[in-house]
Amino acid sequence: MSRTVEHFTTAAAALSFRTGCWIDGRFLPAHDNARFETINPATGEVLADIARGKAADIDLAVASGRKAFRSRVWSGMTPAGRKTILLRLAQLLRDHLEEMALLDTLDVGKPIADTLSIDVPGAADILQWHAEALDKIYDEIAPTGGRDLAMIRKVPLGVIGVVVPWNFPLDLAIWKIAPALAVGNSVVLKPAEQSPLSALRLAELAAEAGLPEGVLNVVPGLGHEAGQALGLHQDVDCLAFTGSTETGKRFLRYAGESNLKPVWLETGGKSPSLVFPDADLEAAAEKAAWGIFFNQGQICSANSRLLVHESLAEDMIARLKSKAEALAPGNPLDPATLLGPMVSNEHADRVAGFIQSGREHAHLVAGGSQISVGRSRAYVQPTVFANVPSDCLLAREEIFGPVLAIQTFKDEDHAVALANDTVYGLAASLWTRDLGRALSLSERLEAGTISVNTVDALSPMTPFGGLKQSGYGRDLSLHSFDKYTALKTIWVKY
Structural domain count, the chain: 2
Are residues 411 and 397 both part of a single domain?
yes
Residues 325 and 193 in one domain: no
Examine the domain organization and report whether 13 and 118 are in the same domain: yes
Mark whether 35 and 179 lie in a shared domain.
yes
Beta bridge pairs of residue 358:
none
Taking 50 as the pLDDT cut, the residues of the chain under it are 1
Whichever domain contains 251, its CATH number is 3.40.605.10
Please check whether residues 214 and 159 belong to one and the same domain.
yes
Question: Per residue in 344-392, pLDDT tens?
Answer: 999 999 999 999 999 999 999 999 999 998 889 999 999 999 999 999 9
Which of 166, 163, 164, 165 lies closest to 41, judged by CA?
A: 166
pLDDT at 374: 83
- pLDDT score of 1: 41
Residues 278 and 311 in one domain: yes
Separation of alpha carbons 158 and 225, rounded Å: 23
- For residues 393 and 400, the answer to whether their CB atoms sit within 8 Å is no
pLDDT at 23: 98
pLDDT of residue 31: 97
Q: What per-residue confidence (pLDDT) applies to 397?
A: 97
Cα–Cα nearest to 248, from 92, 410, 426: 426
Phi-psi region of 477 (alpha: psi -120 to 50; beta: other; left: phi over 0): left
Cβ contacts of 416 within 8 Å, gap of 6 or more: 441, 444, 445
pTM of the model: 0.96
224-273 pLDDT tens trace: 999 999 999 999 999 999 999 999 999 999 999 999 999 999 999 999 99
**Domain that residue 406 falls in:** 272-463
122 and 240 belong to one structural domain: yes
Q: Tell whether 52 and 79 lie within a shared domain.
A: yes
pLDDT (0 to 100) of residue 373: 86
Predicted pLDDT of residue 375: 87
What is the C-alpha to C-alpha distance for residues 385 and 408, in angstroms, rounded to an integer? 12
pLDDT of amino acid 145: 86
Q: Kindly write down the DSSP assignment for every residue of 184-253, as one continuous string.
A: T-EEEEE--TT--HHHHHHHHHHHHHTPPTTSEEE----IIIIIHHHHH-TT--EEEEES-HHHHHHHHH
CB 22 within 8 A of CB 187: no
Q: What is the pLDDT of residue 289?
A: 98
User: Do 297 and 226 share a structural domain?
Assistant: no
By annotation, the residues acting in catalysis are: 266
Q: Identify the helix (H) or strand (E) that includes residue 6.
A: helix 5-13
Q: Are 52 and 220 in contact (CB under 8 A)?
A: yes
Please give the pLDDT value at position 2: 80
Tell me the CATH number at 417.
3.40.309.10
